[in-house]
Amino acid sequence: MLSQPLFAQALIVCALSDLVRSLSTFQWPNPLLSYADRQLYEGPLQGFAKGCPPRDNTTIPAQWLRIAYHDMSTHNVDDGTGGLDASIQYELDRSQNVGEGMLTSLTDFNGFRIMSPFFALADVIALGAILAVAGCGGPFIPFSVGRVDATEAGPPTVPEPQQDLASHIESFRRQGFTPTEMIALVACGHTLGGVRQVDFPLIVTDSSTVLQTFDTTPAFDTAVVSEYLQNTTQNPLVIGPNVTTRSDFRIFSSDGNATMQSLLSPINFNQTCSSLFERMLNTVPSNVNLTDPITEPFDYLVMNDNPSRTVTLLWADRQGSFCPPAGCSQQSNGTQSVLFTIIGQMQGVTALRYPFNATINATSSISKFWFEVNENDGSEPIIVDNGGVGFVIEQDSVFVDIGRSEHISVDTAVEVDEFLTLVVRGDSASASASVTSFTPSLSGTPPFTPTLNKTDLQLDPSNPPEGGYTFFTMNTTLLPTFLDITGTSSSGTVTQKNFDMTVVNFPFIFIS
């Protein structure tokens, strides 16, 4: 038995506002969907969008929604190229992408270090748009992932205010939208934000005006529609002094205001905007396949709230002899509250996380695990076993030993080093280990390209071989977010891919 625990797992139990009781159909492992689910429901990006916060005389959500549309606008339905692919980071020098909000938004998305080997910057831009709409009181937009980042600029095809109606209809057709959908999409987009005088002096001609908004509220609402129909609008793209740049007027009135009249209903406005924004965000090159949309926190067990509930972790060993047929077991050690993002909050979701810390016999190891949920009300316990197959541990030959790893900080605040302890099954004479680390860009300007570094590890002198395992050590100051860990011994070579450094809590050592 190793002195440090080799295994830690948590089960999350949610309570929905309608107290629906069901089990998720999500099949583990699925790194992409699990990661996307966590970013949508627990990720840090929402902090910049919650409450529709102001910035640069507009709002952060308005900037995030604008960059998502401009990035998507390179799509061409005729040949399947372009779309939401983060090509915008190569297109910032174009007049159609003028405005400090473009660079600032990309810096936001990169600064949260959300990108991963399988979660592209384009996925982050899409997530930002979803959070932007929700943060200003708008509807939920289902989130699909799997985008692929472009490595160069796309064509300069963003519609511009001085273009005529025929040009706009053709631009939106190429993007995949009908004339009616064009009207609605522009209205949905222009419920947030406005036009900056410094960027468009021919549209906002009064030099004392920093920004002229599309409507009188910062919120995601129907004001952009009602004020237009009531002729009270101050939208510079409707009533601006330059007739040539009244693009919103030409678009909104192009069907005799029929579409705008239909959007007066807040319910219809939200439903229409949610559907069109989902299509906009899912407009990608034809060779890119997105996942099914995430519409609820599927990576959780959904039940009603019950303070009497007990949750037990059970596992089977690899030898078939150490654990009894019912499985070795460990009851959860308390609960932890889950802080949901604005998406979970708008869906009325609350949750508790049930953590476990179990020491696994090094020789017999572990082959799979599952959970038993007992409501202690006389009902039969519920078995959570990943659709009947259990949560299978594919290999136990190489992994990170979290208990032995350390995170060192100076003055309890400044991060200096992470010392990782990695474990390889095998004796020290034959074992070796290497790590390929994924580190998001630390640059302040785009394009934001992650760094991949391969490191051969040294034996850990502070941890001699134990329980059939050899220990290796690695220290890094780059703060990678994902690791591919490769271990080699007399039994062969095994790689654990995409170890997520962002979810583990290494022991802290403070130096003052």
202 domain residue, yes or no: yes
Please check whether residue 406 lies inside any domain of the structure: yes
Are 325 and 449 part of one and the same domain? no
488 pLDDT above the threshold of 50: yes
CA distance 177 to 166: 14
- 184 and 54 together in one domain: yes
Are both 135 and 197 inside the same structural domain?
Answer: yes
Alpha-carbon distance of 290 to 366, in angstroms, equals 33
pLDDT of residue 279: 98
Q: Residue 22: is its pLDDT beyond 60? A: no
Q: Which one has a higher pLDDT value, 345 or 22?
A: 345
CATH code of the domain containing 350: 2.60.40
Paired strand residues for 509: 408
Predicted confidence at residue 124, as pLDDT, reads 98
Q: Is the C-alpha dihedral spanning 90, 93, 99, 104 positive or negative?
A: positive
Final residue of a structural domain among 330, 360, 392: 392
pLDDT-based confidence at 509, cuts 50/70/90? very low
> 28 with 390: CB under 8 angstroms?
no
* Structural domain count, the chain: 3
The CATH number that applies at residue 115 is 1.10.520.10
Mean pLDDT throughout 352-369? Answer: 88
From CA 364, how far away is CA 269, in angstroms rounded? Answer: 59
pLDDT of residue 352: 84
Query: What distance separates the 2 farthest-apart alpha carbons in the chain?
Result: 83
For the residues 446-454, what does the mean pLDDT come to? 94
Q: What is the pLDDT of residue 11?
A: 60
What is the pLDDT, as a whole number, of residue 493?
Answer: 97
pLDDT band at 20 (very low <50, low <70, confident <90, very high): very low
Report residue 510's pLDDT band, with 50, 70 and 90 as the boundaries.
Answer: very low
Selected residue with higher pLDDT from 73 and 303? 73
333-349 confidence digits (pLDDT tens): 888 888 999 999 999 88
Task: Write down the pLDDT at residue 479.
Answer: 78
DSSP per-residue codes, 248-309: HHHHHGGGTTHHHHHTTSHHHHHHHHHHHHHHHHT---TT--PPPPB-S-TTSEE----TT-
Q: Does pTM surpass 0.85?
A: yes
pLDDT (tens digit per residue) in 204-216 = 999 999 999 999 9
Residue 137 and residue 81 share a domain:
yes
- The CA-CA-CA angle for residues 334, 339, 342, to 5°, reads 160
Q: How does 67-78 read in b/e, with b if 16+ C-beta sit within 10 Å? A: bbbbbbbbbbee
pLDDT band of residue 467 (cuts 50, 70, 90) is confident
Same domain, 266 and 316: no
Phi/psi for 178 (5° steps) reads -75, 170
- Where are the strands (E) in 151-263, listed by range? 194-196, 211-213
Digit-coded pLDDT (tens) for 246-282: 999 999 999 999 999 999 999 999 999 999 999 999 9
CA distance 40 to 38: 5
Any idea which residue has 């992994």 for tokens? 399
Under the banding of pLDDT at 50, 70 and 90, the label for residue 354 is confident
Alpha-carbon distance of 69 to 128, in angstroms, equals: 12
Domain that holds residue 383: 13-18+303-392
For residues 309 and 422, membership in a common domain is answered with: no
Q: Based on the domain organization, do 332 and 189 belong to the same domain?
A: no
State the pLDDT at residue 32.
Answer: 94
CA distance readout (Å), 292 to 145, 186, 259 = 8, 26, 29
Asked whether the CA dihedral 363, 369, 375, 376 is positive or negative, the reply is negative
26 part of a folded domain: no
Lowest mean pLDDT among 122-126, 259-263, 362-366, 406-410: 406-410
Is 288 part of any domain?
A: no
Cα–Cα distances in angstroms (integers) from residue 376 to residues 306, 307, 311, 316, 379, in the given order: 9, 10, 10, 24, 7
Q: What is the pLDDT of residues 25-70, one digit of tens each?
A: 578 889 999 999 999 999 999 999 999 999 999 999 999 999 999 9
Q: Are residues 411 and 382 in the same domain?
A: no
The residue out of 392, 414, 436 marking a domain boundary is 392
**Per-residue model confidence (pLDDT) at position 321:** 86
pLDDT tens figures, 379-425? 999 998 988 999 999 999 999 988 888 755 445 444 545 678 999 99
What's the pLDDT band for 353 if we cut at 50, 70, 90?
confident
What Å distances lie between residue 257 and 22, 50, 217, 228, 249, CA to CA?
A: 45, 33, 22, 10, 10
| Nearest one of 66, 65, 81 to 148, comparing CA atoms | 81
